[in-house]
Amino acid sequence: MDRSLPVWPDVKVLVDDPSRQARFEQVVLPHLNAAYNLARWLTRNEHDAEDVVQEATLRALRFFGGFHGHDGRTWLLAIVRNTCYDWLRRNRPAELHSAGDHVETPEDTVLKRADRLRLREALDALPLAWREVLILRELEQLSYKEIADVVGIKIGTVMSRLARARAQLQQRVLHRNEESAR
């Protein structure tokens, strides 16, 4: 989503070690746009996404001492994803248990030709578990392994959810196109 991010907490106020602050800013802060994008699609609300990303950034800061990896993006997105699920459990528990049941092979051409509004509506209608893998793959361009790491599932489950999400997205976009053609 192309928009300016809100003002996040000032890391300098929260960190008293300048080297830790500099490393946190280098590893985490460049990925706030991706974090917001994921949170926005999972919560389906700009303001809720801002709250989630702010909370996730504070969590990342709190546990930054335990970060020993090289990929700050994947690490931050995993924290954002978990924070979103915590937020959804508190605020919209029914959404966590929704599931779709129709599976078809997706056609990339349908997605490319779909109107942006129709596509957004179709994405919003997907079950959360499918929506998150689709967003991480298609919008954030994470590999299957990176998605598996962020979401905490096996690569095969990522592929399965992604296939189902694409199929249902295709079905919804086609259905909306048919409705608007009438």
CATH number at residue 79: 1.10.1740.10
Q: Is residue 103 part of a domain?
A: no
Greater pLDDT, 75 or 94: 75
How far is residue 136's CA from residue 46's CA, in Å, rounded to a whole number?
17
Q: What is the pLDDT of residue 115?
A: 60
Q: What is the pLDDT of residue 105?
A: 36
Which of 67, 96, 125 delimits the end of a domain?
Answer: 96
Output the pTM of the full model. Answer: 0.61
pLDDT tens, residue by residue, 31-49: 999 999 999 999 989 999 9
Greater pLDDT, 138 or 100: 138
140/81 same-domain check: no
Q: Torsion over CA of 2, 109, 96 and 93, rounded to 10 degrees? A: 50
Question: What residue has token string 């999972």?
Answer: 42
130/168 same-domain check: yes
As for how many domains the chain has, the answer is 2
Which of 48, 68, 96 delimits the end of a domain?
Answer: 96
Please answer whether residues 146 and 92 qualify as being in contact, where contact means their C-beta atoms are separated by less than 8 angstroms. no
pLDDT tens, residue by residue, 96-117: 766 554 333 344 444 454 466 7
Greater pLDDT, 80 or 11: 80
Q: Is residue 88 part of a domain?
A: yes
How far is residue 52's CA from residue 88's CA, in Å, rounded to a whole number?
10
21/80 same-domain check: yes
DSSP assignment letter at 114: S
Q: What is the pLDDT of residue 48?
A: 94
How far is residue 175's CA from residue 40's CA, in Å, rounded to a whole number?
24
How far is residue 87's CA from residue 81's CA, in Å, rounded to a whole number?
10
Which of 40, 65, 96 delimits the end of a domain?
Answer: 96
127/79 same-domain check: no
Residue numbers of the domain that contains 156: 108-181
